[in-house]
């Protein structure tokens, strides 16, 4: 059977890619499971892993559906992504946000950093997270979103509590997967910016969403 033969070859390639360091695979069918394996097989790769995507496409063609970062491979129409409404800007008389040092990241990689949030109000500030905040990269001239983090994240509820007049460091995740084929699969080197949407308050709702102003980001080769 053609499907079985394709899977037999593909699972060997997936094992090889899985064992590479750094690993190019984000999401893929587990090679240890043979039941129900019929093409096309959906595989997601890191934003920098274009060579691995090229090889998979060369070997398996339409038998694999490839995503590099958040974009389809070979280049084509971007994968549909949920469009969240842009939250209102933080009121600087209540909350200010700044980087815990310069943000510099290699194109195609992910930066683990920190955001310093200052509570200028007279009440406790609660910031809802999954353990960290996730940034989106924007064009510093237009404000258009051009990239961000690609891949799965754990979803525990972690609330950072900031007392009145105090400042807290909240972990920050900055990914460089491009969301436009115009830039390629990874946001290229240059001076960019990013912003973060905060979920404020004890309960998740749209009225508690606020975004930081654009903060500087340097992407290097």
**Residue 67 token pair:** 């995503």
The reply to whether 124 falls in a domain is yes
Mark whether 124 and 36 lie in a shared domain. Answer: no
Mark whether 119 and 23 lie in a shared domain. Answer: no
Domain count for the chain: 2
Number of H helices, E strands in the chain: 2, 17
Of 6, 4, 27, 3, the closest CA to residue 17 belongs to 27
Mark whether 35 and 112 lie in a shared domain. Answer: no
The reply to whether 82 falls in a domain is no
- The pLDDT, as a whole number, for residue 115 is 98
- CATH number where 162 lies: 2.60.40.10
- The pLDDT, as a whole number, for residue 204 is 73
The reply to whether 83 falls in a domain is no
- The pLDDT, as a whole number, for residue 58 is 96
Mark whether 44 and 115 lie in a shared domain. Answer: no
Mark whether 65 and 107 lie in a shared domain. Answer: no
Q: Which residue, 28, 48, 73, sits at the end of a domain?
A: 73
**Residue 32 token pair:** 């240890």
Mark whether 48 and 95 lie in a shared domain. Answer: no
- The pLDDT, as a whole number, for residue 2 is 58
The reply to whether 201 falls in a domain is yes
Place of tokens 């973060």: 196
Q: Measured between alpha carbons, how far is 137 from 84 in angstroms, rounded to an integer?
A: 15
Distance from the Cα of residue 144 to its chain's centroid: 16
Mark whether 198 and 152 lie in a shared domain. Answer: yes
Mark whether 176 and 111 lie in a shared domain. Answer: yes
Mark whether 69 and 174 lie in a shared domain. Answer: no
Question: Which parts of the chain have pLDDT scores under 70?
Answer: 1-3, 77-84
**Residue 55 token pair:** 């090889």
Give residue 25's domain range. Answer: 2-73
β-strand 209-211 against 88-89: which pairing, if any?
parallel
Residue 112: burial class (beta carbons within 10 Å; 0-12, 13-18, 19+): exposed
- The pLDDT, as a whole number, for residue 39 is 94
Q: Are 172 and 113 in contact (CB under 8 A)?
A: yes
- The pLDDT, as a whole number, for residue 79 is 54
Mark whether 153 and 45 lie in a shared domain. Answer: no
Mark whether 148 and 206 lie in a shared domain. Answer: yes
The reply to whether 6 falls in a domain is yes
Across 29-188, the runs of DSSP E, i.e. the strands, are 41-45, 64-68, 71-73, 88-89, 95-99, 104-106, 110-119, 125-129, 133-138, 145-148, 158-162, 167-175, 177-178
The reply to whether 81 falls in a domain is no
Of 31, 40, 37, the closest CA to residue 11 belongs to 31
What sign results for the dihedral spanned by CA atoms 146, 105, 136, 18? positive
Of 194, 81, 203, the closest CA to residue 144 belongs to 194
- The pLDDT, as a whole number, for residue 168 is 97
Reported as half-sphere exposure (CB side, CA atoms, 13 A), residue 176 has a value of: 27
User: Any idea of the CA torsion for 149, 46, 74, 63, to the nearest 10 degrees?
Assistant: -120
Mark whether 54 and 141 lie in a shared domain. Answer: no
């Amino acid at each position: 059977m053609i499907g079985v033969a394709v899977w037999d070859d593909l699972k060997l390639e997936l094992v090889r890619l899985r064992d590479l360091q750094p690993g190019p695979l984000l999401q893929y069918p587990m090679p240890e499971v043979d039941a129900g394996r019929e093409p096309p097989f959906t595989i997601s790769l890191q934003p920098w892993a274009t060579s691995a995507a090229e090889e998979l496409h060369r070997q398996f063609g339409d038998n694999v559906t490839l995503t590099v970062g958040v974009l389809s491979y070979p280049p084509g129409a971007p994968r549909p992504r949920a469009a969240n409404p842009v939250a209102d800007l933080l009121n600087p008389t209540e909350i200010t946000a700044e980087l815990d040092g310069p943000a510099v990241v290699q194109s195609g990689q992910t930066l683990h950093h920190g955001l310093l949030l200052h509570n200028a109000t007279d009440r406790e500030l609660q910031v809802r997270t999954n353990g960290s905040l996730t940034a989106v990269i924007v064009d510093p001239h237009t404000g258009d979103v051009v990239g961000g983090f690609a891949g799965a994240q754990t979803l525990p509820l972690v609330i950072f509590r900031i007392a009145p007049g105090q400042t807290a460091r909240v972990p920050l995740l900055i990914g460089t997967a491009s969301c436009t084929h115009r830039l390629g699969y990874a946001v290229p080197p240059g001076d960019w910016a990013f912003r973060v949407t905060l979920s404020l308050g004890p309960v998740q709702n749209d009225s508690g969403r606020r975004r930081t102003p654009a903060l500087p980001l340097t992407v290097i080769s």
